Amino acid sequence: MALFLTESDVRSLLPMPVLIEAMAGALAQYSKGGVVQPVRTVLQVQGPHALMAAMPAAVADPPALGAKLVTVYHGNHARGLPSHLATIVLLDHATGALLAVMDGRYITEARTAAVSAVSVAHLAVPDARVLAILGSGVQARSHFEAIRTVRPLDDVRIWSPTAAHRDACASELAKSSGLNVRAVSSAAEAVNGAQIIALTTASPTPVLDLADVTPGAHIAAVGACTPKTREMTTALVREARVFADSRAGAIKEAGDLLLPMQEGAFDVSHIAGELGEVVDGRVSGREHNRQITLFKSLGMAVEDVVAARIAFEQASKAGVGQVLKTT
């Protein structure tokens, strides 16, 4: 028999502090070679605005095996649906038997932000207390929750192109947290003096330039995830000390890196390391307090599978979920 877990089930089983710690371990395992994981397979369903990706992974320690099927339909908002939907299948690492089927939408949302929080913990200046979030959607909200778990925040600025969206996001986050969260009218205003910047937009073209970024800032960039989209200018990426979740993924999918490479601005050696190598102490992170550091996140299957394993284990202990008969 196996478990079926809904989004509300999964949400109740994965508190952000636990997820951040688990993601740090998953990143380190990946960079040490403890994960079998191909670069995801992406199927264009209806051109660039609707796609499906298959993301399998096997983790040696602690053992976990599974795969996520994720869809990105940019037209879903008009239908009242999230743009990103996902299902995760978790298997027994020892036998291959089905353990669980669970909604993966929340896991995708939360683990992405949790990984960014790992980057903040390891790469931002120690006294960073000012956060700029570019974007006002699901990832903006999730990044706020994750980053404030690893850093005390005094000032949070929200910018996105639509005033009503950024105002609503700022108001919601301020009310739920009691922190100083405010909407601002431009990306430049948001990042002025910010020591942590979360890039969570859906923009295919740069919204952030080197001239706007304060020396010493750390950037967690998660929005652009295809070879032809980018959130940052070439000048900014060239100046920064760059880290990726996966080198293999970055050189295949990260337009923020690939487009400057095509322009001749730098080559693949500009990627200083994987975040897991920094977590594990094998690659140095920030070199000085005025250096701009950049974590380019694409998302990895190992993150989903590790999160799903925790959800399954907690559900089994708490009696959460619906039992499915598999024979």
Average pLDDT, the chain: 94
Could you read off the pLDDT of 238-281 as tens digits, one per residue?
999 999 999 998 998 898 999 999 999 999 999 999 999 999 99
Could you read off the pLDDT of 228-242 as tens digits, one per residue?
889 999 999 999 999
**Domain 124-299 is of which CATH architecture?**
3-Layer(aba) Sandwich (3.40)
Question: What are the structure tokens assigned to 115, written together?
Answer: 């990984």
| pTM of the model as a whole | 0.94
Domain 2-108+302-324 CATH (choose: 3.90.1010.10, 3.30.1780.10, 3.20.20.80, 3.10.580.10)? 3.30.1780.10
Name the nearest CA neighbour of 300 among 117, 113, 57, 138.
57
Distance CA 154, CA 266 (A): 36
Where do we find the tokens 């939408």? 105
Could you read off the pLDDT of 288-325 as tens digits, one per residue?
999 999 999 999 999 999 999 999 999 999 999 999 88
Could you read off the pLDDT of 172-186 as tens digits, one per residue?
999 999 999 999 999
Name the nearest CA neighbour of 3 among 97, 108, 94.
97
Q: What is the largest CA-CA distance in the chain?
A: 61
Q: Do residues 85 and 261 touch, judged by C-beta distance below 8 A?
A: no
Query: Sorting pLDDT into bands at 50, 70 and 90, what band is 48?
Result: low
The domain ranges of the chain are 2-108+302-324, 124-299
Average pLDDT over residues 59-83: 89
